[in-house]
Amino acid sequence: MPRAIRSPREPLLDVKEIQGNILAGFNKDQQLLLALTFRDIPAARRWLRRIAGQISSLELVNEFNSLFRKARASLGSDPAGMIATWANIAFSHPGLAKLTSVEDANGVPDGSFQVGLPARAATLRDQDPGGSADPTAHWKIGGTGNVPDVLLIIASDSISELRKAEDRLRPNSGDGPGEPQLIWEELGQTRPDLPGHEHFGFKDGVSQPGVRGRLHAKPDVFLTRRKLAHAAGKMQFAKPGQPLIWPGQFVFGYQSTDRETGDPVEAGKLKPAWLMNGSLLVFRRLQQNVAGFTRFVKDAASTIPGMTPERLGALLVGRWKSGAPVLRAADHDLPALGTSPLVNNDFLFTANSPPPVFLPGIRPPKPFPEAPADAHGLICPHAAHIRKVNPRDQDSDLGDQFDTLTRRILRRGIPYGPPIHDPATDDGVDRGLHFLCYQTSIEQQFETVQLDWANSPNKPTVGGHDVIIGQTSDQRRAFELLTNAGASTQKLTTPTQWVTPTGGGYFFAPSISALRDVLGVGS
């Protein structure tokens, strides 16, 4: 009989304190971002006290998500009547400093947060399309001189409910005089034609880490539901392809993951103490050039014997548009695989994937082709997007699979802008992704993935850039396709980038009590 994972050492998460989008995820079809600046600190505090009770906790969001999943499983489709509307909030370093002190804001243990995204943009190889030396010169939000103090996230299953929540949550004259000023807002929406897919057409958000931690005092009520039996070794999975990671990688004040052993590492002391249960939020407004990507894939495929644009696109990403990994569907898409959550993320890179052993009560999925070992990237190229940003069991320049666990992020992104009508024709419409992710070290997590791996031609393993999100100073990126079982190679070079940052920021998402009792009150 497969044995459930019983790990009483997993910490009890403070579900009433942690904001809900961090560990549970809103997962809504509409998500509005509002950027605000403070004009008057007493007015800002009045506003924060007014809305603090409307900031959604992990407890609320997770319980709704659980009910939603149960209803969907019972109905066989999304339960139309189940609607929830959530809000979360985060502060930039300047915003936090205004509400507390520079010393307290500098207490957030992350140098990149402290200096802010505009100072890091050049390091990330962001480029200004207009040629300015400042990569953020034309950003719509978050560029030099335009850094908001606050990022407010409102998400809902219903656009009308979202707008009502916006009315409730926006600063108003009752908070004033000098209430916080709205300087930018933008609505993100799942694609109506392809829910869950980004604008290039690929299913997004398939691979998310499983966060360890308990929701209740009972030892086996975990935040991340366990579907697999306990495996040999220290690498444990909640479901196939979803490794379990200690929560301190995403929320301050909890055990994090040792980069050499995967063992839990006790949290260091936080100063100020109210950083506990907080998290760091990276926001990037990533504009996507769908026509440019489509044209490249079509043109490049025509230069490779036997290649189709669809397959080349899958090789660049590491997945087919359905979400099916090329390691399990090397030659053509298997849409049923892409939508099978217990299979579509079940693969390693250097070893044959062991057959999963499910816990009692978990119905094994329909069988699909297994994932073979592919250490050299003969099936899934080393520079494929999903391999660059998560090398899984393959060693990187920084360490082994346990080090890679410490680089993982919790992605909460959503597309913005309408889907393109003809993917091969540029219609001039601004569309892309509101990339959002949570972690406790922007330097060691988001920036390492983007800077050290995606932007590099030779890391985490040699084989080219991540041509989906990787950035270089001249926009040209290289991608190596191995042919003839590794005896020869075909090198592709991209003429331009298809993903351009046009806004963003680094933020701290405090606990709900810190929002109410510290930031809303002042010292």
Q: Give the footprint of another protein on this chain (CB under 8 A).
A: 109-112, 115-116, 119-125, 133, 248-249, 252, 256-260, 265, 267-270, 350-351, 375-376, 382, 393, 395-402, 406, 439-441, 443-444, 451-452, 455-456, 458-459, 461-463, 473, 480, 482, 485-489
Q: b or e along 110-143 (b: 16 or more beta carbons within 10 Å of the residue's beta carbon)?
A: bebbbebbbebbeebbbbbeeeeebbbbebebbb
Residue 253 identity (one-letter amino acid): G
- Longest CA span, the chain: 71
| 333/480 with CB nearer another protein | 480
| 116/510 with CB nearer another protein | 116
CB of residue 368 to another protein, shortest distance in Å: 23
| 84/117 with CB nearer another protein | 117
CB of residue 117 to another protein, shortest distance in Å: 10
| 100/256 with CB nearer another protein | 256
Helix, strand, or coil here: 504?
Answer: strand
CB of residue 137 to another protein, shortest distance in Å: 13
CB of residue 120 to another protein, shortest distance in Å: 5
CB of residue 256 to another protein, shortest distance in Å: 4
Classify strands 30-37 and 181-189 as parallel, antiparallel or unpaired.
Answer: antiparallel
| 118/432 with CB nearer another protein | 118
| 269/421 with CB nearer another protein | 269
DSSP 68: H
CB of residue 213 to another protein, shortest distance in Å: 15
Q: Hey, what long-range contacts does 27-30 have (CB within 8 A, 24 or more apart)?
A: 27/65, 28/84, 28/86, 28/155, 28/156, 28/157, 28/414, 29/157, 29/189, 29/190, 29/195, 30/155, 30/156, 30/157, 30/158, 30/159, 30/162, 30/187, 30/188, 30/189, 30/190
Distance separating alpha carbons of residues 324 and 268, to the nearest angstrom: 40
Residue whose tokens read 């200690």: 246
CB of residue 130 to another protein, shortest distance in Å: 17
CB of residue 400 to another protein, shortest distance in Å: 5
Tokens, residue 155: 């998400």
Distance separating alpha carbons of residues 192 and 68, to the nearest angstrom: 20
- Strands annotated E in 67-180: 85-91, 150-156
| 265/336 with CB nearer another protein | 265
Distance separating alpha carbons of residues 21 and 130, to the nearest angstrom: 35
Distance separating alpha carbons of residues 260 and 401, to the nearest angstrom: 9
Torsion of CA 58, 117, 147, 517, to 10 degrees: 30
Distance separating alpha carbons of residues 316 and 467, to the nearest angstrom: 7
| 174/354 with CB nearer another protein | 354
Are 124 and 142 contacting, i.e. CB atoms less than 8 angstroms apart? no
Distance separating alpha carbons of residues 141 and 183, to the nearest angstrom: 8
- Strands annotated E in 246-349: 256-257, 264-265, 279-288
Distance separating alpha carbons of residues 196 and 199, to the nearest angstrom: 10
| 67/115 with CB nearer another protein | 115
| 280/420 with CB nearer another protein | 280
CB of residue 282 to another protein, shortest distance in Å: 14
CB of residue 194 to another protein, shortest distance in Å: 34
Contacts of 416 (CB under 8 A, 6+ apart): 186, 187, 188, 189, 285, 431, 432, 433, 434
CB of residue 378 to another protein, shortest distance in Å: 10
CB of residue 386 to another protein, shortest distance in Å: 19
| 88/456 with CB nearer another protein | 456
| 125/214 with CB nearer another protein | 125
Contacts of 7 (CB under 8 A, 6+ apart): 212, 219
Q: Hey, what long-range contacts does 362-366 have (CB within 8 A, 24 or more apart)?
A: 362/227, 365/340, 366/336, 366/340
